[in-house]
Structure 1
């Protein structure tokens, strides 16, 4: 009976999963988070393949895996930072106004999505958007903070709003 050829990602997993888990454990200091992110790294590769972008033969598989995993580590740290800020905000509110655990989870997920969305904006557009939405600053005030013209602030705001609309989030 002929043996089916191995899948490139399965081979990559078999050969490098242990190394990747150890690499992530050193970065994160937690074996459980490292295991999760190692799995997420290979899941990302499978997802890309399902989207029609097959994995090309790799000359340096560990460097490639480390690059993909590093992006996931950055996202993990960003999520922890957002979660920490959210928990601090909740702690400062009266208990009677605290959302339920389900609402908390949904809000945290939305905050993480928004954070990732804003991170894809250019830094000045992101700053302008946040100053307008969170601080309530006028375009002239934002222009002064950023050292740009009011016209440029309008352009940044248009970029940010278009980005939000394209992603399904309305400001």
Structure 2
């Protein structure tokens, strides 16, 4: 066995140890906060999947407090889940009201819902401050100078943030067109 294979084997053992030792604890920890067993199970799996996919994440042998580390990652995933659900709920409510006024078909509503999910995924891929600037501009209608004051940055920085967000929107549109 060469050095790379031995290192990979050791990392797999470390990951397995981390998973076996802490998965049940993490799932119970999430359940106490969410009160939904399926969401807790999904987020526990997502937490370990995120660690497994991240090549530079510390594994069992490197962690002094693995539960604190796992809880931090899980909290972020939990917040993302709540954010996605609240955005989806708000859009579904708006869409339902709009559908009543315009008579949208079920298919049209599904297409709009898919587009909103794609935009939400795109926004999630942006750095948090860029996402916030984009939402302040597009959803709340704030001017660049208002956004700059809120984020404590320059107007030029806000322009860069919004350009970055718009580029992501364009990439999403081009991807959907293919």
- TM-score category, normalised to shorter length: 0.7 to 0.9
Structure 2 length-normalised TM:
0.71
- Listed as ranges, the gaps of 5+ residues in structure 2 are 1-8, 172-178
How many Å separate the matches in 1 of 2:140 and 2:77? 30
In the alignment, is the contact (CA less than 8 A) between 2:44 and 2:74 conserved in 1? yes
Look up the match of 1:55. 58
Q: How many residues align?
A: 155
**1:115 positional shift:** 3.9
Q: Which residue of 2 aligns with 1:80?
A: 85
Q: Mind listing any 5+ residue stretches in structure 1 that lack a counterpart?
A: none
Match of residue 107, structure 1, among 115, 118, 135: 115
CA contact (8 A) 1:20 1:38 kept: yes
Change in 2 beyond 3 A, CA 1:122/1:133 = closer
The RMSD of aligned alpha carbons is 3.1
Q: 1:58 to 1:144 in 2, by over 3 A?
A: closer
Give yes or no for the alignment of 1:8 onto 2:40. Answer: no
The answer to whether structure 1 residue 19 and structure 2 residue 25 are counterparts is yes
Q: More displaced, 23-32 or 88-97?
A: 88-97
What is the alpha-carbon distance in structure 2 between the residues aligned to residue 135 and residue 77 of structure 1? 20
Contact 2:130 / 2:164 at 8 angstroms: preserved in 1? no
Q: TM-score scaled to structure 1, two decimals?
A: 0.73
Cross-structure match for 2:104? 97
1:109 to partner: Cα distance: 1.7
The answer to whether the 8 Å contact 1:13/1:42 transfers is: yes
